[in-house]
């Protein structure tokens, strides 16, 4: 199995010892507390889960700027995006203090983590703009990631954290949420050596199903980990519980037993395209995968990124040796009526045209499901389509 990123062993920041965790919860009751942003909470969950190994806490301003500029901290650690705790108001907080970080996404705002404060620094407008441009390649506030990054404040609270729970993820998704050590354990238990990871924030249609199968066959993989995002998405995206049910049904019916692990992780989508694709690679290496499928417009939104920018960044900007995990470069996949199967469109035989593929836009799919119309069998498995149709009709 591949080593974790940046260290020989995985270093999840969740306090696993019950007695120590209880003592920290008691300590937190007497500490200065702040309700953090959803993004900062998700960062804490990812560090607690071992996915952001080898980070020990939130980055300071210098590291955030260095990571934004060249994907390396000031000490030289490769990391593709700043991992920060940004607030509007840090009054009453000083370097050296221990503070309780409260969860914004759970009723009553329970303590999520305790942070030992190294520094409190306020970024200038120019520094915020610089980081925004480097990470998201746009300053358009209509971009959901840009908006989320620029509306929670400009003051960075840096320093190590001790994570006390996994927010709502473990409770709401007990069968799906898994930490990086848990996935490593499953891979080892399965006896898998080569493991393909598939990132998704959407239900999986026939094209996604076949793409996972193609990657497994071409990389001679022993198994696949379907790893779905369980955190906040943009309006209109399908909720995680519906996606989870649809994916489980697909795997149950259409993959051989013991070849696919269905898992999820607690993070809010950045929609940062290429930079987020590299982040996906970092934490898939930490969970033990050897390959990550990077497809067309991976982690993108709208028209902010070119269709294959998320593949190009690995070839042109990720330093050689920065990651041990390999990328499986995929094109858009669709059902060919000429060939009677799903193929990558770039691999279509000469003479294929767009009309030879079964292609439906997301808007069209949503409209059909909401109207109770069956999706073509070449596009979606009927059992999956039914789960999605039930959801859309319940929203009408």
Question: In terms of domains, do 44 and 108 share one?
Answer: yes
Of the listed ranges 152-156, 175-179, 362-366, 376-380, the one predicted with least confidence = 362-366
Least confident of 196-205, 215-224, 274-283, 317-326: 196-205
Q: 201 an active-site residue?
A: yes
Residue 48, pLDDT score: 98
**Domain assignment present for 36:** yes
Provide mean pLDDT across the span 89-111: 97
Distance CA 101, CA 34 (A): 5
pLDDT at 238: 83
Closest CA to 184 of 4, 328, 393, 375: 4
Residues 204 and 291 in one domain: yes
Residues 328 and 179 in one domain: yes
Report the mean per-residue pLDDT for the chain.
95
Mean pLDDT to the nearest integer, 345-366:
88
Q: Exactly one of 178, 184, 201, 275 is catalytic; which is it?
A: 201
Residue 175: pLDDT above 90? yes
Q: Using the predicted structure, report yes or no on whether residue 395 has a pLDDT greater than 90.
A: no
pLDDT at 394: 87
Which pLDDT does position 235 carry in this prediction? 72
Q: Which residues contact residue 146 at a Cβ distance below 8 angstroms, ignoring those fewer than 6 apart? A: 132, 136, 138, 139, 140
Q: Which of 202, 213, 248, 366 is catalytic?
A: 202
Is residue 179 within 8 A of residue 275, CB to CB? The reply is: no
Secondary structure (DSSP) of 59-86:
--HHHHHHHHHHSB-TT--B-SS----E
Q: What is the rounded average pLDDT of the residues 98-116? A: 98
Q: Is residue 348 part of a domain?
A: no
Q: Are residues 146 and 260 in the same domain?
A: no
* Residue 74, domain CATH: 3.10.400.10
| CB 173 within 8 Å of CB 277 | no
Do residues 88 and 158 both lie within one domain? Answer: yes
243 is catalytic: no
190 & 296 share domain? yes
Task: Give the residue from 232, 278, 290 showing the smallest Cα distance to 79.
Answer: 278
In a domain, 254, yes or no: yes
Residue 319 sits in the same domain as residue 182:
yes
* Same domain flag for 280 and 308: yes
Alpha-carbon distance of 2 to 22, in angstroms, equals 33
Percentage of the chain surpassing pLDDT 90? Answer: 90
User: What is the spatial distance between Cα 297 and Cα 201, in angstroms, rounded to a whole number?
Assistant: 13
Average pLDDT over every residue of 276-295: 98
Please report whether residue 5 resides in a domain. no
Residues 145 and 205 in one domain: no
pLDDT value of position 237: 76
Classify residue 319: in a domain, yes or no: yes
Q: Which sign, positive or negative, has the C-alpha torsion 87, 92, 97, 100?
A: negative
Residue 370's pLDDT is 85
Quick one: average pLDDT of 96-105?
A: 98
Range of the domain at 137: 18-167
Best mean pLDDT range from 197-206, 212-221, 357-366: 212-221
99/134 same-domain check: yes
Domain end marker among 152, 167, 182: 167
Answer yes or no: do 178 and 320 share one domain: yes
Domain termination residue (choose one: 150, 167, 184): 167
Instruction: Evaluate whether residue 350 is within a structural domain.
Output: no
At 268, the pLDDT band (50, 70, 90 cuts) reads very high
The residue among 115, 147, 167 that closes a domain is 167
Q: Give the mean model confidence (pLDDT) for residues 72-94.
A: 97
Distance CA 226, CA 211 (A): 12
Tell me 5's DSSP state. Answer: T
My answer on whether omega of the bond before 54 falls inside 30° of 0, hence cis, is yes
Q: What band does 162 get if pLDDT is binned at 50, 70 and 90?
A: very high
Residue 260 included in any domain: yes
- Using CA atoms, how far apart are residues 18 and 121, in angstroms rounded to an integer? 34
Q: At what angle do helices 382-395 and 240-254 cross, to 10 degrees?
A: 160
Measuring CA to CA, how many Å separate 383 from each of 90, 242, 282?
50, 13, 33
Residue 240 clears pLDDT 90, i.e. is over it: no
Element (H, E) at 242: helix 240-254
Question: How many CA atoms lie less than 13 Å away from 359 in the CB half-sphere?
Answer: 10
In Å, what is the CA distance from 288 to each residue of 212, 225, 292, 326? 17, 10, 11, 12
Helix (H) or strand (E) holding 122: strand 119-122
As a whole number, mean pLDDT of residues 210-234 equals 94
Provide the CATH number for the domain around residue 184. 3.40.50.620
Q: What is the mean pLDDT of residues 2-9?
A: 97
How many domains would you assign to the chain?
A: 2
Q: Taking the CB of residue 102, how many other CB atoms lie within 10 A of it?
A: 18
What are the angstrom distances between the C-alpha of 61 and each of 73, 74, 159, 177?
10, 10, 11, 31
Same domain, 96 and 55: yes
Q: Is it the case that residue 360 has pLDDT exceeding 90?
A: no
Q: 339 lies in a domain?
A: no
pLDDT at position 369? 86
């Amino acid at each position: 199995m591949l080593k974790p990123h940046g260290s020989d062993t995985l270093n999840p920041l969740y306090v696993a010892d019950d007695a120590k965790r209880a003592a920290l919860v008691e300590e937190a009751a007497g500490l200065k507390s702040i309700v953090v942003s959803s993004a900062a909470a998700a960062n804490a969950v990812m560090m607690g889960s071992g996915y952001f190994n080898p980070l020990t806490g939130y980055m300071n301003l210098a590291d955030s700027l260095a990571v934004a500029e060249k994907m390396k901290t000031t000490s030289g650690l490769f990391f593709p995006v700043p991992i920060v705790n940004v607030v509007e108001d840090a009054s009453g907080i000083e370097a050296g203090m221990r503070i309780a970080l409260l969860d914004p996404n759970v009723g009553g705002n329970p303590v999520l983590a305790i942070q030992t404060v190294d520094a409190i620094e306020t970024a200038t407008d120019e520094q915020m703009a610089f980081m925004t441009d480097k990470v998201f390649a746009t300053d358009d506030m209509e971009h959901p990631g840009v908006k989320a990054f620029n509306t929670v404040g400009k003051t960075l609270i840096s320093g190590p954290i001790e994570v006390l729970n996994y927010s709502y993820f473990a409770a709401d998704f007990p069968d799906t949420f898994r930490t990086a050590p848990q996935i490593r354990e499953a891979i080892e238990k399965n006896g898998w050596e080569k493991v393909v990871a598939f990132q998704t924030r959407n239900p999986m249609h026939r094209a996604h199903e076949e793409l996972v199968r193609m990657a497994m066959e071409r990389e001679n993989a022993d198994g696949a980990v379907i790893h779905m995002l369980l955190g906040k998405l943009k309006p209109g995206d399908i909720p995680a519980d519906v996606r989870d049910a649809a994916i489980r049904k697909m795997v149950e019916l259409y993959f051989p037993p013991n070849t696919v692990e269905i898992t999820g992780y607690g993070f809010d989508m950045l929609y940062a395209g290429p930079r987020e694709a590299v982040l996906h690679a970092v934490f898939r290496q930490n969970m033990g995968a050897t390959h990550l499928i990077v497809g067309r417009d991976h982690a993108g939104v709208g028209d902010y990124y070119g269709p294959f920018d998320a593949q190009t960044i690995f070839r042109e900007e990720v330093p050689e040796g920065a990651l041990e995990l390999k990328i499986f470069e995929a094109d858009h996949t669709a059902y060919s009526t000429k060939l009677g199967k799903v193929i990558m469109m770039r691999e279509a035989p000469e003479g294929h045209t767009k009309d030879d593929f079964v292609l439906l836009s997301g808007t069209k799919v949503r409209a059909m499901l909401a109207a109770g119309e069956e999706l073509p069998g070449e596009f979606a498995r009927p059992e999956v389509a039914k789960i999605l149709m039930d959801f859309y009709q319940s929203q009408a």
